[in-house]
Amino acid sequence: MSKLDEICAWLRHRLPDLLAENRVPGAAVAVCAGDEIADVAAGTLSTATGVEATVDSLFQIGSITKVLTATLAMQLVDEGKLDLDAPVRTYLPAFRIGDERAAERITVRQLMCHVAGFEGDVFTDTGKGDDCIERYLGVLHQVPQLFEPGEMFSYNNAGYCVLGRIVEVVRGKPFDDCMRTHLFTPLGLTHAANDPYEAIIHRTAVGHIERTPGAPPEPTHVWALARSNAPAGSMLAMRPRDLLVFARMHLAGGLGPDGGSVLSPASVRAMRRPQVTLPDSEQGTAWGLGWELFDLPGGTVFGHDGNTIGQSAFLRAVPGRDVAVAIVTNGGLPRRVFAEIGGRVLRELGGVEPPGQPAPDPAAPPLDASRYVGTYESSTCETTVSRDEEGRLWLERVPIGITAELDEAPYRTELVAWRGDTLLPVEPERGVHAPLAFLGDDGQGRALYLHTGRADRRVSP
């Protein structure tokens, strides 16, 4: 029995219990080692219908879509039709944000590696027509600039919608057509859907959310976010095996399953070249052109995560080992599922050691709260950090905008010291203690940004 066969046998035995332990209604997993792919599924696609999850079921892959969008852009680079270091306005003369000076300077490359600097969580619905991404650009006119273009990393969904519009304009056809013509077809993806109209012909998962913390996951009332955000990850759904076909193309230097070139070796390498170092928050080490990069004991890993309304997906690949794993889920505490499965695959097949999950230390030293106390805001949440009479630091996050409309629950926790200006929450969120980095200086010794992958700017003392 090969090592892949051993892992597949373990998955068949372990996955149902792992889902039950973490209140995940259903999941599907695919693992590849060289030319071999094995996949396993368990649970249900919707607790309302009881339809069983299978290896051919479609789950939303969320922001993993961004890597496919980046690949579409790099194909244009291969064809000499796109210059990554040209200003966005070279291709989109009507591109506007709240800061005209920044809008003139932002480049295509800065969109791809999340350093453009403008507010990135803009989920405005501009309709279901093929013009929705074009219309979305009009929504960005008043979006604020948080920092100078290129200054730092801040995850930017809106930036990838702009990138998707560039692909549309240069190709002269709608984004979904570009995705199907230039990726689905050459890769032979048979179980991939750009929208609900395509997804409904397959066995498709529904997201589940907790209406109140600790309550059983319930099916969402909305299947997907707005189509205007499709290039950033609001729509695309596929089975994990098809997602691995895409990842294997990147592992194979841009060659598709039939040996034909989908992307040049130079572009494959460029996408995995670090563009910006990430804050010390126990996420990736750096970001490339689409890919999140992890510098781990034993080697480098590239990948991406995705989260939509009650669905989460995870993709990791180990270059040089031809190993990759894709995990798709529809609710509960999916990061724990990913940690156990992804950890074993990366360790036993990929030869790399994944980082352990950070945990708060009860004996952590006291904090100088004056640097952290204040209110930080984005378009999706308002976060207040306060100090109590005993000197303890507390974080309270209140959803606003689209996250409030989608019943995202408020979150409150004590914060304790971890590494430098990166703190840990005492109470886990969705099963993990996600670090929070406090960056910059407002001129009075206080942090200017609360960074959780996205930089939320201080709005009050």
Q: Which residues are catalytic?
A: 63
Q: Find, among 215, 250, 235, 57, the residue nearest to 160 by Cα.
A: 235
Distance of alpha carbon 28 from alpha carbon 16, whole angstroms: 11
Give the separation between CA 380 and CA 283, rounded to whole angstroms. 21
Residue 170 pairs in a beta bridge with none
Question: Cα angle vertex 353, ends 348, 356, to 5°?
Answer: 120
Specify the 3-state DSSP secondary structure of 247. helix
- Maximum CA extent, the chain: 66
Question: 184-211: buried (b, 16+ CB within 10 Å) or exposed (e) per residue?
Answer: bebbebebbbbbeebbeebbbbbbbbbe
Rounded-to-integer distance, Cα 237 and Cα 224, Å: 10
- Phi and psi at residue 315, to the nearest 5°: -135, 130
Q: Are 263 and 78 in contact (CB under 8 A)?
A: yes
Tokens of 368: 């100088």
> How many whole angstroms separate alpha carbon 408 and alpha carbon 54?
28
Tokens 């006291």 map to which residue?
Answer: 366
